[in-house]
Structures are given as structure tokens and as C-alpha cells.
Chain A
Amino acid sequence: MISQFGIIVLFGVVAILFLIFMFFISSLIRKQKPNIEKLSTYECGEEAIGAIGFGTFNMRYYILAIIFLLFDVEILLLFPWAEVFMNKDLNPSWTVWALVELTIFVIVLAIGLAYAWAKGHLDWNNHLVVKQPHDIPLAYKTFNKER
């Protein structure tokens, strides 16, 4: 007997065959006349200079990805919890306990979200708010010399 996941593999095989078929058909009938201009990197009509592509991107995306990991693990842990939440075969008081446990779990994670929020990592324009060094103590007398 083939399990249900075996059929999903069958589905994936059909999808891969479809992709290979399309690329194969395309390779049979298309033209192929590459030249150096066609193969150059696109840059609005200019020659691409400097570190293109594989280069750098903004650090904020990285921080978001880390916060995402935290919450994705949370969701992964909540899925089995949600499935047994309504289970009538368990102890009748189970639902209450489950909800209390969930509340504690979510509050711990909400503290994490609140921390990231307070630090400004969820606020995309936080880089615009640059702290001006107004409060650097300058010696008053340096600029106002008494004569």
C-alpha cells in the first residue's frame, strides 16, 4: 500500500517532469545568438560598475529575519497544541489548563515582540530618527573667552 505521502511524491515527480518538458521544448525551438551586450548586467542603460549584485543589503532585514525565526518556532509549537485543544477524550478541565499554559507561553513571546518594538526594530523609519549630539558638554569658555 502506498502511503499518502508517496502520492505527494508522485505529484512532485509530475511537476518536475512538467518543468523539464517545458525547458526541453524551449531549447528545441528557440534561437540562440548571444553577444556581449545581451549578456551584460542590466543597469538602466549605463555600464554596471562597482560591487554589483552579490553585494550588500540593509542590516534591518537581517534583524527582521531573526525575529521571524523566533515566531516561526512559536507557531510550530502552537500547531500540536491547537490540535488537541478541543479533544473531548481528555480530562474536562484540560481546556482550561491548556488555555492558561498558552497564555503564559504567548506572554513570554509577546515580551520578546514588545522588546523588539521598543527598540525600534519593527519601525521601518527608525533610521530617520538620528540622535543629534546636542548634549555633548562643551566648555562654554572655549567659545566665549572673557577678555
Chain B
Amino acid sequence: MDFTFLIDKTILVAIIFAISLGIAAYSTYFERKFAGFFQDRIGPDRAGPFGILQPIADGVKLVMKEEIIPAGANPFLFIAGPSLSMLTACMTTAVLPWGSYLEIGGRKIPLQVADVNIGILYVFGVVSLGVYGLMIGGWASNNKFSLLGAIRAASQNISYEIAMGLSIIALVMMSGTLSIGTIVEQQQNSYWYVVLQPLGFLIFLICSFAETNRTPFDLPECEAELVGGYHTEYSSMKLGFYLFAEYTNMFVSSAVMSALYFGGYSVPFISALHLDQNLVAIIGTLAFFGKILFFIFFFMWVRWTIPRFRYDQLMKLGWQILIPLSIINIVLTGIFILVFDK
């Protein structure tokens, strides 16, 4: 029993790992393709048909590059920074429910690596750890641009983390649980939480843009002022890990948004069709990935539409607008529950 359980989980871990890294890698290709589309260009089209092999070519290039650790840098922390960034980006996918469950040979195999009862808290904590990756890398480079970029990244991430946490708390008040699996199940036969928490979703969306350092919040790597920001001194696979971590984070935050606010793997009215459980699970998983891909597209759409903020505007939005707004959202949610849920 234990042994088969472990094998199931190991296979699931390997599959989820491969899928999340694959989607992160191909996000880079589609980012450039969409950029081309938005700016009336062609985009990458040389490596393979339609440039479809471009991410692989980029990966091979990064692996084969010479490893340069600047003489003034702290070598251990210089390598630890991007590794930690990548590690935290990957670890978040562990608690997300990718589907309901499959029935193979009379055994129920849940499509979730670990259904911990504090899933949201875990995601929140691991995402917060991502700041250390940027901070350590930027500080260890011993370069003023890296240091400034790292400090900016850290202060931006912690500022928006507060509003993000407060918007999640309003959601938890409605669901009454911290387990992401249970939250998705609640949405299967009820409203999606985006209907009940529109303001909370908006705050969460803006904060996830800031947490993943995407445009319009990409001030940590603002080319015009800071060369490359926290990864100025980085090259080869370590630079690759930073970039990869950014796209993995984008994938993860899209997945968290779809799971918490857009019903995860739930498809409306599918229980009325009385299909086989395995088929329902597969359709649900595909629907979940459809939602995730939509959000990834949304991230790219915003990147090529909205210009970057100034730093004082960023701080004003985070501290003086989003935090008071999310506190108001909590109070409104409390009153809403008191009035309508009796």
C-alpha cells in the first residue's frame, strides 16, 4: 500500500515538474511571438518550423555559456541566489490540485501532490521566500546596479505581499478553509469566488503582477536605470535560472488565481452530463490548464500594452491604495457574510 502510494506520488511529481517547466520554457517562446504580433513583427521563426524549437535552442545556449563569477563577488551566495529563486518557484506547485481524481484498477489516485490543510499559507510562505533569491543574488554580485535592483525588488515584493495576504484573507473568510483542494471543490457546485470576491480578485491580480516582477511592475530590472537590475552580473545557467524562475512564477501565480478565484478544475454543469469519472477528471484538468494559459496570455498582453510605473507611483499604489482597499474588502466581506449567510 505504502509502496504503490509512493510510486503514484513520484510519477505525479515527475509529471507536474515536467509540465510546469515545459510551460515555463514555452512561455518564453510565446511571449516573444505575442510581442511580435502586438508590434506588427514576425517574432522568432528560425529554429524549427515557426521557431518552435527556440526555447530549446536558448536553453542549450545558456547551458554552454562560460561560467563567470566576478572576482569581487561572494561565490557561494552568487550561486545560491538563482538556485533559491528557482527552487521556491518550483516548490509552489506541490499543493495545487490539478484535477479531481482518477480511478485506475479500483484505486483512487488524486491528481494533487500534497493536499495539506494549510495550502494557501504554504503558497504564501514559499512565494515570500522568493525575495531571498533576488536579495542574495543581487547583494552577492558586489555591484551597485545589482544591489539597487535587489533592494528595489525586495521592497516591491514585501509591499505588495501585504495587500495580497489581505485579499486572500477575505477569500478564506468565505471558504472557511485554508486547503486549496477544498476551496476548488466548494466552487464546483456553487459560484466561482470571482463572483463573490470581485474586489479581492482585482487586488490579488495586481499583486501577482508585482510579485512576479512583470511589467508594469518590472522596476527591479529596469534597463534604462539599472542596466539589468539584480541579474546584471549574471550569465550562463545562473541567468537562465533567474529568467526561468520568473516564467515559472508567472505559471504558478496563474494557477493559484485560477484555483482560488476561477474554480480550478471545475467545469460548469459537467455533473449534469453523468460522464465517467476518469473522463470528467481529464476534462477538468484540461479546463484548468486552459484557465492557466489564459492568465499567462493576460500577463503577456499587459506587458506589451502598459508602460512601466515610476517608483513613487509603485509605492503609492501598493501602500496608499491597495492596502486600505483590501482592509475595506475584509470588512465588507464580513458584513456580507453576516447579512446574507443566515
User: Which residues of A are in contact with B by a Cβ distance under 8 Å?
Assistant: 1-2, 4-5, 7-8, 10-12, 14-16, 18-19, 22-23, 25-27, 29-34, 36, 38-44, 48, 52-55, 57-58, 61, 64-65, 68, 71-72, 75, 78-79, 82-87, 95-96, 98-99, 102-103, 106, 110, 113, 117, 122-125
Residue pair A29, B63 in contact (C-beta under 8 Å): yes
Q: Is B207 an interface residue (CB 8 A)?
A: no
Given the contacts A26-B67, A86-B173, A124 and B143 also touching, CB distance less than 8 Å: no
Residue pair A57, B176 in contact (C-beta under 8 Å): no
* B residues 138-182 in Cβ contact with A at 8 Å: 139, 141-148, 151, 154-155, 158-159, 161-162, 165-166, 169-170, 172-178
Q: Is B13 an interface residue (CB 8 A)?
A: yes
Per-position binary interface string of chain B over residues 58-83, scored 1 when its CB falls under 8 Å from any chain A CB and 0 otherwise: 00000111111111100000010001
Residue pair A117, B114 in contact (C-beta under 8 Å): no
Per-position binary interface string of chain B over residues 226-257, scored 1 when its CB falls under 8 Å from any chain A CB and 0 otherwise: 01000011001100010000000000000000
Which residues does chain B contribute within 8 Å of A29, judged by CB atoms? Answer: 63-64
Residue pair A95, B337 in contact (C-beta under 8 Å): yes
Point out which of A40, A78, A83 has the most chain B C-beta atoms below 10 A from its C-beta.
A83
* B residues 73-103 in Cβ contact with A at 8 Å: 79, 83, 86-87, 90-91, 93-95
Q: Is B40 an interface residue (CB 8 A)?
A: no
Which residues does chain B contribute within 8 Å of A117, judged by CB atoms? Answer: 319-320
Residue pair A65, B66 in contact (C-beta under 8 Å): no
Q: Which residue of B lies closest to A5 (CB)?
A: B116
Residue pair A32, B67 in contact (C-beta under 8 Å): yes
* CB proximity of B137 to chain A, nearest CB, Å: 12
Cα-based distance from A113 to B318 in the complex (angstroms): 13
New contact pairs (8) apart from A18-B21, A39-B68, CB-CB < 8 Å = A8-B116, A43-B144, A64-B155, A64-B315, A71-B323, A79-B172, A83-B176, A95-B338
Given the contacts A10-B10, A19-B86, A53 and B169 also touching, CB distance less than 8 Å: no
Residue pair A8, B155 in contact (C-beta under 8 Å): no
Among all A-B residue pairs, the 8 with the closest Cβ atoms: A53-B142, A124-B312, A75-B165, A86-B176, A82-B172, A4-B114, A11-B94, A39-B71
Residue pair B83, A19 in contact (C-beta under 8 Å): yes
Which residues does chain B contribute within 8 Å of A52, judged by CB atoms? Answer: 72, 142-144
Given the contacts A30-B63, A79-B172, A72 and B165 also touching, CB distance less than 8 Å: yes
Residue pair B331, A103 in contact (C-beta under 8 Å): yes
* CB proximity of B142 to chain A, nearest CB, Å: 3
5 CB < 8 A contacts A-B: A7-B114, A39-B68, A42-B145, A43-B143, A86-B341
Q: Is B113 an interface residue (CB 8 A)?
A: yes
* CB proximity of B340 to chain A, nearest CB, Å: 12
Which residues does chain B contribute within 8 Å of A103, judged by CB atoms? Answer: 331
Given the contacts A15-B91, A102-B334, A38 and B143 also touching, CB distance less than 8 Å: no
Residue pair A26, B63 in contact (C-beta under 8 Å): yes
Residue pair B165, A125 in contact (C-beta under 8 Å): no
Q: Is B9 an interface residue (CB 8 A)?
A: yes
Which residues does chain B contribute within 8 Å of A65, judged by CB atoms? Answer: 154-155, 158
Cα-based distance from A53 to B172 in the complex (angstroms): 42
